[in-house]
Amino acid sequence: MARPDAASLLSPSPPPFKPRRRGRLLPSILAVLAAAVALFLLAVLRSPPTPSPNLGSLFLSLGSNNTAASHLRALTLHPHVAGTKANSLTAAYVLHAFSSLSIPSHITPYSVLLSYPVHRSLSLSAGPGRATKSFSLTQDTYPNDPYARAAAEVTPTFFAYSASGSVSAEAVYANYGREEDFAYLASRGVDVAGKVALARYGRIHCEDIVHNARAAGAAAALVYPDPLEYGGPAGEGSFPDSRWLPPSGVQVGSLFRGVGDPTTPMWASSEGCERVSVEDAMATDDMPGIPALPVSARDAAEIQRVLGGAEAPADWQGRDGSPAYRLGPGPAVLNLTYQGNDTMATIENVFAVIEGAEEPDRYVILGNHRDAWTFGAADPNSGTAAMIELAQRFSMLQKQGWRPRRTIIFCSWDAEEYGLTGSTEWVEENREMLSSRAVAYLNIDVSVVGPVLLPSTTPQLDELLLETIKLVQDPDNSSQTVYDSWVKSSASPKIQRLGNGGSDYAAFVQHVGIPSTNLIFGEGYPVYHSLYDDFVWVEKFADPGFRRHVAAASIWGIMALRLADEEIIPFDYMSYTTELEAYTKVVEKETEGTAVSCSPLYNSIRALKKAATKVNSERKDIERALSSKQLSKDSTKIRGLNDRLMQAERAFTNREGIFKQAWYKHLIYGPSEQNDWDTASYPGIADAIATARSSNTSASWKLVQHEVHRVARAVAQASAVLSGSLT
């Protein structure tokens, strides 16, 4: 059964189209990186003009697509997987870029468990009398590839944290690797036990595919990017001639279903801390437990050509013109070997801090991760380039005499690709400080993969986001704003929510309860996590003029400026109440005919609406008093209101967390248990309903009622915080 979700209001997160080798780096890389920074400084840091009365307009006028392009080129000269020398050099580059702007900067390292390949092999035996096919497991460079030499440094294709081992078994085709796909195979009498499951990307991520394969009894798994989703229309070609993934392209990733350092679950990986052993960390249910490999569409087609068994149903088939997919098992026999090195390694988070003038103990935090499986031009360094370009603009504003009211912190996270590791460790280490001081977290993972903004927020930031994108010019049409293009892009444009574990906002929203956003231009990109995510792809297909990078930085920066500078934090909780009502109606429908009552939820939502109305009225009164000089900007009345606005989101969290996912504390939005990349509304209630529908016992429906009460209590706490009154 699907989780309760207000599908009419919110779009589900789109399927992500988002690899390590200790190759020799060019010895001149630091000089190249330093030169790039020096060039943009000479070009743009001219003598400051007279201070502008309109800070936002001045900020928008300072955007530089040349700066974004030069940083992206420098950051993507070499592949830079977390824990490698190459990635340490990117940390040095970002640190130097911030420091060159006279923004105090530093690096915070952590020792964490990472995973690298040692040996991989895969061969196909098609039956008696037929030759064995050995797969090269390599991605081909393309004609005139400027990064062909650097491609030799790319880590061989692998899945991080895959179990080591050798398997020889028949293949079974498992469609997208979802629970329902394995259930369908069972209903058709296709035995997965002891077999090698072949599944394709497109609906859930690799860690959930392999987890489901293991649960179905598979001995190993292969995952490939099917041309249906990643190859484009038949005959259109592939990169570098089009944006589509070449046939040899492989999407790598991590199979860890948890977050952060696996040796420090629920606590920070700080120096001298308690740790579980590597062996114990690798033995948890969050790890895949079976050998698995990512493979190309070309290799998967070889396997599918010799699969027997019944023909797969229509919605399991490939794109038009492809040979029919069959279920198996066999007669194809796969021989798979994987040997990994799961080892402690050092990662480096880079920070730059612009200290606030009036409220230095209130933090507006901007983050992007820096590590990449290969060159990482779109994921994540389009975001890194936008962040440095944004920092340059803030530096220029400082030269005009600007200083933010509240502290602004830039964060360049490491090891995000392994399990949101860098950001998670930092948030866990600073949890109490962040809980009491963080105003908001603004994340960009991938800033640009195409046209049209796809925003995600926690609801109290909706209005700020909409007001901001009405100010920023559409990078593809100067006659309209980003808001205009966003509205025209869909009959019902959506702001998505941040309940999933897709990027570094997870620790801020899900673990601490900090209002957050995530921004990206474009939806999905076929070269995600492959060799072909390079500067050429971004320059040619994602953002030919680098104007979208500048627009992303502009939206990011305007939101940060308003959150950091306005006397009253620009949060509005009214949209929260509207959505909670919609989610509750869905729960009511799902529990119709049972003893479950949603009255506690409706009562708490009414209280939240009343508190949100009161806060908005208070805001207007204070704004009038400020404009008439009847109230000082440093009044404790303003500070008190801001604290309530800031802390209300924390109240939606619960220290016990979501059932079976205790690290995730947020009771309104959480990751789907079946797909870490999907957002579930009322995740605890959704899990309880799914269990009750399966067992249909009075005890299971009582658990649903308990979860309803848990959420109702959280909403009531949020309303109490907003109203600022004790019972």
Distance of CA 244 to the CA centre of its chain: 22
Could you tell me which residues come within 8 angstroms of residue 21 by beta carbon, excluding any fewer than 6 positions away? 79, 81, 153, 154, 155, 156
Q: What residue has token string 């201070």? A: 51
Same domain? For 335 and 460 the reply is no
Question: What pLDDT is attached to residue 514?
Answer: 98
Dihedral sign (CA 388, 390, 393, 397) = negative
Q: Residue 418: name the closest of 177, 271, 207 by CA.
A: 207
Same domain? For 553 and 602 the reply is no
Bridge partners, residue 473, by sequence = 481
Q: Determine whether 643 is exposed, middle or buried from the number of CB atoms within 10 Å of its CB (0-12, 13-18, 19+).
A: middle
Same domain? For 364 and 503 the reply is yes
CA distance 13 to 496: 7
CATH number of the domain bearing residue 123: 3.50.30.30
pLDDT tens digits, 5-22: 332 222 333 333 333 332
CA distance 467 to 476: 19
In-domain check, residue 402:
yes
In-domain check, residue 502:
yes
Helices then strands, counting H and E runs in the chain, come out as 24, 16
Specify the amino acid at residue 592.
Answer: E
CA distance 525 to 232: 11
CA distance 504 to 479: 34
Q: What residue has token string 């986001």? A: 465
Question: What pLDDT is attached to residue 17?
Answer: 37
In-domain check, residue 474:
yes
Residue 424 is part of which domain span?
A: 55-104+355-565
Same domain? For 129 and 75 the reply is no
* pTM of the predicted model as reported, rounded to 2 decimal places: 0.91
Could you tell me which residues come within 8 angstroms of residue 629 by beta carbon, excluding any fewer than 6 positions away? none
Collapsing DSSP to helix, strand or coil, 557 comes out as helix
CATH number of the domain bearing residue 683: 1.20.930.40
Ranges of the chain with pLDDT below 70: 1-53, 129, 672-678
Judge whether 118 and 291 are in contact, CB under 8 Å: no
Dihedral sign (CA 637, 641, 642, 646) = positive
Same domain? For 458 and 507 the reply is yes
CA distance 600 to 580: 12
CA distance 686 to 718: 21
Q: Which ranges of 513-546 would DSSP assign to H, the alpha helix?
A: 535-537
Q: Enter the DSSP assignment of 265.
A: T
Same domain? For 488 and 587 the reply is no
Same domain? For 556 and 578 the reply is no
Specify the amino acid at residue 113.
Answer: L
In-domain check, residue 267:
yes
SS (H, E, C) 461-505: HHHHHHHHHCCCECCCCCCCEHHHHHHHCCCCCCCECCCCCCCCH
Judge whether 382 and 534 are in contact, CB under 8 Å: no
How many angstroms separate the Cα of 229 from the Cα of each of 165, 187, 597? Answer: 30, 26, 42
CA distance 22 to 162: 19
CA distance 509 to 504: 9
Paired sense of beta strands 438-443 and 359-369, if any: parallel
How far separated are the first and last CA of the chain, in Å rounded?
40
Structure tokens at 173: 């085709």
Question: What pLDDT is attached to residue 499?
Answer: 85
How many angstroms separate the Cα of 667 from the Cα of each of 36, 503, 585, 586, 683? Answer: 46, 19, 17, 16, 7
Same domain? For 321 and 423 the reply is no
Domain end call among 528, 548, 565: 565
Judge whether 678 and 692 are in contact, CB under 8 Å: no
Bridge partners, residue 145, by sequence = none
Q: Enter the DSSP assignment of 507.
A: I
Question: What pLDDT is attached to residue 134?
Answer: 96
Question: What pLDDT is attached to residue 491?
Answer: 76
Measured torsion, CA atoms of residues 201, 202, 206, 208, in degrees rounded to the nearest 10 = -130
Same domain? For 528 and 599 the reply is no
Question: What pLDDT is attached to residue 672?
Answer: 67
Same domain? For 621 and 643 the reply is yes
DSSP codes joined into one string, 302-320: HHHHTB-SSBPPGGGS-ST
Same domain? For 393 and 423 the reply is yes
Report the number of distinct structural domains present in the chain.
Answer: 3
Collapsing DSSP to helix, strand or coil, 166 comes out as strand
Domain end call among 565, 599, 629: 565
In-domain check, residue 450:
yes
Dihedral sign (CA 176, 182, 183, 186) = positive
Judge whether 173 and 326 are in contact, CB under 8 Å: yes
Beta strand ranges found along 328-479 (DSSP E): 333-354, 359-369, 406-413, 438-443, 456-457
CA distance 194 to 220: 8
Same domain? For 339 and 361 the reply is no
Specify the amino acid at residue 84.
Answer: T
Which residue among the candidates 416, 417, 428, 649 is catalytic per the annotation? 416
Distance of CA 432 to the CA centre of its chain: 23
Domain end call among 286, 310, 343: 343
Judge whether 481 and 474 are in contact, CB under 8 Å: yes
CATH number of the domain bearing residue 477: 3.40.630.10
For residue 416, indicate whether it is catalytic. Answer: yes
How many angstroms separate the Cα of 708 from the Cα of each of 586, 587, 686? Answer: 12, 9, 10
DSSP codes joined into one string, 193-246: TTSEEEEESSSS-HHHHHHHHHHTT-SEEEEE--HHHHT-STTS--TTTSSSPP
